[in-house]
Chain A
Amino acid sequence: MDQFVNAALAILLGVGGMLVYFYGTNFVLDTTLADRFAADGKLIHSNARSRERIRPWLFVGPAMLLLTFYLLYPAADTFRRSFYDARSENFVGLDNYEWAINSSGFQQSVQNNVLWLLVVPFASTGLGLLIAVLADRVRWEAAAKALIFMPMAISFVGAAIIWRFMYAYRAPGETQIGVMNAILVWFGGQPQTWITEPPLNNFMLMLILVWIQTGFAMVLLSAALKGVPEETIEAARIDGANEIQIFFRIMIPQIAGTLAVVMTTIVIVTLKVFDIVLVMTDGQYDTEVLGNYMYRWIFRNLDYGKASVIALSIMVATLPFMFWNVYRFRREEKLR
């Protein structure tokens, strides 16, 4: 009960404080810079222009302050710390970068991240596209799509536990309680330790992310496919194109933009993957990735310099997408 009261109080305080800010500052602005009226109600001096010059900053102020403190300043500070030692006290030049290049843990993380990037975006997008195409042809489309999309609602930690259970291992001869091993044994195979056997285990972890992201790809691609004009497809059909030709020559080019958005989104999710690896293996058995490796260097090895280099290497990989987003945004703004 105490916990409940505290929680309710905390929520009220947090939300209330913010509302007080917006109402309060606007009220202060409107009263201190109020228009002056003569006794007969005639306007003597209007402050409307100065008010409206200040008000935008009351509106964007909190957002800009938070962005500066939580994203802009840390980005610069992380860059600075990458040239300092473990406690960020002494300048060490490029030592941390040199360490990264020679560290087998870092190399393995980069290798695994690349492997994840080669598998997860393509597998999720491909499967999502297949399901979108298939679901378009049945009457129970909505139900099928809901089932595939459901894992998107589940946390990476929850998904990891769900799949740990799928991969559960019992010694040969015992009853298998994990679905994967039960199927394997049923077909006469030997039970596998799915998550401790490299290189197989890496793919078993990737499967979890594919399971989550396929629904996302499917929903976006399905919407895009429905946007392909019926007349174009009809015209191709009359010209004698078969279904496969229509798919690859008509539909794919038409949804290329959506395909790119889906792929890049999943690429960025994959680059930051952390929770799945932490819960499944904690980077053991050759499954380390940059996200988890950085966490290890902050909290277990307590070295901010090296952790900063790892964080920056994730950042560098996302830079092209950042520039692409800004470029697209500014182009659209010009068209407004």
Chain B
Amino acid sequence: MSTSQQPQTLAAPAPRAEVPRSSQLQFRITRFLGWFLVRATLIFICVLWTVPTFGLLISSLRDKDALAVSGWWESLQSTITQDQGRSGTAADQIEQEGRYIISGNLLPEGDRREISSFGLTATGFDDFAVGETATTNEGFEITVLEDGTYRLISMEPIPESFSRGQRITFQAETPPRLTLENYDEVINTEGLGDAFLNTATVTIPATIIPIAIAAFAAYAFSWMRFPGRLLLLSIVVGLIVVPLQLSLIPVLRVYNTLELRGTYPGIWLAHTGFGLPLAVFLLYNYISSLPRDLIESAQIDGASHFDIFIRLVVPLSVPALASFTIFQFLWVWNDLLVALVFLGTRPENQVLTSQLNDLVGSRGDNWEIMTASAFVSIAVPLLVFFALQRYFVRGMMAGSVKGG
């Protein structure tokens, strides 16, 4: 022990003092540059990776009029719009202390805009600031206030010929506002609420069924002896990467005959079939690595394989089961192809991804609909991700052999 430590202690005092001062400075600068570059690059990449999702979230919370005219990064600034209105007509005039007045509000009730300037010609919307007085061709004086109220004052009675009122153009600011209105609209009007429930109805059994079936099979492959074990297991491993495109047509034909297409059991079984190879493989890796003594001593005590599986192996395999549960849950929740082919697009059982795809076609430019809808569909996966990150990462890593 002591002999191995000696050379280390001898080598420790490095001959630093001999390094000239200038090159030491140079060394420090390079080291600082390295330190700085690592952080700057990493922060840059992190921002780059987060901006798309963040922009979607912010946009989904914005006022839909503001969303259409400015970028989401400006969502904390007011948006400026130009508009015009008309004053009341001669019929609206009121006499007050020898003056004839028409008053009213340019903005409809409930409008949140604030007027900043106004004018009397089509392009003159910033000729006068709010509170200033403009004079019309007829010699009337007009004042417009921030909240949209205006007063038109005349020293003489206003003649009947003033029947169309005065055009007033103005520039208004919409103060920034975050709202859940878009969510209300997509969930209640666009049917995303139902689609959400449909997705859950598809996903929950399509996650639990393959895990249960795979766990039984994985146990049998690990601890039971039967002819053809290794061959069957090799087939399972081989099937992991088979593209499911290969299965679409034949299964679809059978489903049409059996009237399973468009039914929940149909899609549960389809997801089960496509998810099984990976599930069996992962659970086999885990269950077969449990200590042999444990299983054998239970057998000697007279427990059947069914008892050993339920009472001993399942509780011990919780980490592996949890990881695969998350992987399969997200896979099914996020799936589009299997849902399109085997469930179809009828509204009574259309899932979120499929409805989103339809929305791109019909409402692709209504960004208030698109952003809120997209966020409804990714909210659950994101929640699972942030809440169960450790299991999630493990599940994804374990699923790596499958490739999507």
Q: List 29 A-B contacts (CB under 8 A).
A: A10-B201, A11-B201, A14-B209, A52-B304, A67-B235, A70-B269, A70-B270, A71-B246, A71-B274, A73-B250, A74-B249, A150-B50, A151-B53, A157-B336, A157-B356, A161-B371, A162-B55, A261-B401, A265-B402, A265-B403, A274-B336, A275-B357, A295-B340, A310-B245, A311-B249, A315-B242, A322-B238, A330-B234, A336-B288
Looking at the complex, which of A89-97, A99-107, A173-181 is the stretch in contact with chain B? A173-181
Q: Are A59 and B220 in contact (CB under 8 A)?
A: yes
**Is B333 at the interface (CB under 8 A from chain A)?**
yes
**Is A4 interfacial (CB-CB < 8 Å)?**
yes
CB of A313 to closest CB in B, whole Å: 10
Chain B, residue nearest A262 (CB) = B400
Choice from A161, A261, A314 contacting B374 with Cβ under 8 Å: A161
With the chains together, A149 CA to B46 CA distance in Å? Answer: 10
Tally of A-B Cβ pairs under 8 angstroms: 339
- The A interface is mostly helix, strand or loop, or mixed, namely helix
Structural contact, B224 and A52, CB atoms closer than 8 A: yes
Q: Which residues of B contact A127 (CB under 8 A)?
A: 45
Query: By the criterion CB–CB under 8 Å, are A164 and B356 in contact?
Result: no
A154 and B367 contact, CB distance less than 8 A: no
* Residue of A62, A215, A223 contacting most chain B CB atoms (<10 Å): A62
Residue of B nearest to A10 (CB): B264
Q: Flag whether B364 is at the interface (Cβ < 8 A).
A: yes
Task: Give the A-binding residues of B (Cβ under 8 A).
Answer: 38-39, 41-42, 45-46, 49-53, 55-56, 59, 67-73, 194, 197-198, 200-201, 204-205, 208-209, 212-214, 216-217, 219-221, 224-226, 230, 232-254, 264-265, 268-270, 272-274, 276-277, 280, 288, 304-306, 309, 330, 333-337, 340-341, 353, 356-357, 360, 364, 367, 370-371, 373-374, 377-378, 381-382, 384-386, 389, 392-393, 396-397, 400-404
Residues of B within 8 A of A144 (CB): 42, 46
Residue interface bits A204-215, CB-to-B below 8 A is 1, else 0: 000000010011
Choose from B288, B360, B400 the contact partner of A279 (Cβ within 8 Å): B360
Does A182 have its Cβ within 8 Å of any Cβ on chain B? yes
Q: Are A70 and B273 also in contact (CB < 8 A) when A154-B334, A325-B241 are?
A: yes
* Chain A hits for B392, CB < 8 A: 153
Across the interface, A15 reaches (CB within 8 A) one of B205, B233, B235, B400, namely: B205
- Give complex CA distance A3, B402 in Å: 34
Chain B contact residues: helix, strand, loop or mixed: helix
Of the candidates A67, A312, A336, the one having the most CB atoms from chain B within 10 angstroms of its own CB is A67
A134–B45 Cα distance when bound, in Å, is 10
A19 to B213, CA, bound (A): 9
Specify which of B214, B230, B264, B273 is in contact with A71 (CB 8 Å cutoff): B273
Rounded to whole angstroms, the CA-CA distance of A223 and B288 in the bound complex is 24
| A156 x B38 contact (CB < 8 A) | no
Which of A3, A6, A158, A223 contacts B377, CB < 8 Å? A158
Say whether, besides A71-B242, A322-B238, A150 and B224 are in contact (CB < 8 Å): no
> Which of A75-83, A225-233, A246-254 makes up part of the contact surface?
A75-83
For residue A297, give the distance in angstroms from its CB to the closest CB of chain B: 10
